[in-house]
Amino acid sequence: MANSSFFTFLLLLLLYTIVASANNPNDDETVPSDNVFTLQVPTLDDSILDNLLSFGYYLKSCPEFESILHNKVKVWIQKDHTLAASLLRLQFHDCVVRGCDGSILLDHDGSERRAEASKKLRGFDVINEIKEELERSCPNTVSCADILSAAARDATVELGGPYWAVPYGRKDGRISIAKETQIIPIGRENITSLIEFFQSKGLTLLDLVVLSGSHTIGRSSCGSIQYRLYNYQGSGKPDPTIDPKYLNFLQRKCRWASESVDLDATTPNNFDNNYYINLSKRMGLLYTDQLLYSDPRTSPLVSALASTPSIFQHQFAVSMSKFGVIDVLTAQDEGEIRTNCNFVNAY
Least separation in angstroms between CB 220 and ligand HEM: 3
DSSP one-letter string for 186-255: -S---HHHHHHHHHHTT--HHHHHHHHGGGGS-EEEGGGTGGGTSSGGGSSS--TTS-HHHHHHHHHH-S
Assess 297 for contact with ligand HEM (CB under 6 A): no
* Closer to ligand NAG by Cβ: residue 242 or 320: 242
Which spans of this chain sit near ligand NAG (rule: CB under 6 A)? 190, 192-193, 265-266, 274, 277-278, 281, 283
Count of residues near ligand HEM by CB under 6 A: 27
- Upper half-sphere CA count for residue 313 (Cβ side, 13 Å): 17
| 172 appears as a binding residue in the annotation | no
| 97 appears as a binding residue in the annotation | yes
Alpha-carbon distance of 131 to 143, in angstroms, equals: 9
Assess 308 for contact with ligand HEM (CB under 6 A): no
Alpha-carbon distance of 23 to 246, in angstroms, equals: 38
Beta bridge partners of 261: 220
Q: Which of 125, 166, 175 shows the shortest CA–CA distance to 146?
A: 166
DSSP one-letter string for 139-153: TTTS-HHHHHHHHHH
Q: Binding ligand HEM by CB under 6 A: which of 54, 111, 224, 290?
A: 224
| 112 appears as a binding residue in the annotation | yes
- Site stretch for ligand HEM (CB under 6 A), options 43-51, 68-76, 208-216, 239-247: 208-216
Instruction: Spell out the long-range contacts of 294-299 with Cβ–Cβ below 8 A and sequence spacing 24 or more.
Output: 294/241, 295/191, 296/1, 297/191, 297/195, 297/205, 298/191, 298/205, 298/208, 298/209, 299/5
Beta bridge partners of 220: 261
Assess 220 for contact with ligand HEM (CB under 6 A): yes
Count other C-beta atoms under 10 Å from residue 112's C-beta. 25
Alpha-carbon distance of 216 to 311, in angstroms, equals: 15
Q: Which of 194, 207, 138 shows the shortest CA–CA distance to 168?
A: 138
- Site stretch for ligand HEM (CB under 6 A), options 107-115, 127-135, 165-173, 182-190: 182-190
Assess 167 for contact with ligand HEM (CB under 6 A): no
Least separation in angstroms between CB 108 and ligand HEM: 23
| 101 appears as a binding residue in the annotation | yes
From the candidates 70, 93, 108, 314, which is the catalytic residue? 93
Least separation in angstroms between CB 92 and ligand HEM: 4
* Closer to ligand HEM by Cβ: residue 35 or 212: 212
Beta bridge partners of 168: 54
Assess 186 for contact with ligand HEM (CB under 6 A): yes
Q: Binding ligand HEM by CB under 6 A: which of 85, 97, 100, 247?
A: 85
**What is the per-residue binding string for ligand HEM in 266-295, x denoting contact by CB under 6 A?**
--------------------x-x-------
- Site stretch for ligand HEM (CB under 6 A), options 60-68, 71-79, 179-187, 336-344: 179-187
Instruction: Note if 70 is an active site residue.
Output: no
| 185 appears as a binding residue in the annotation | yes
Q: Which of 163, 206, 235 shows the shortest CA–CA distance to 298?
A: 206
| 267 appears as a binding residue in the annotation | yes
| 94 appears as a binding residue in the annotation | yes
- Catalytically active residues are 93
Binding residues for substrate: 185
Binding residues: 94, 97, 99, 101, 103, 112, 185, 215-216, 264, 267, 272
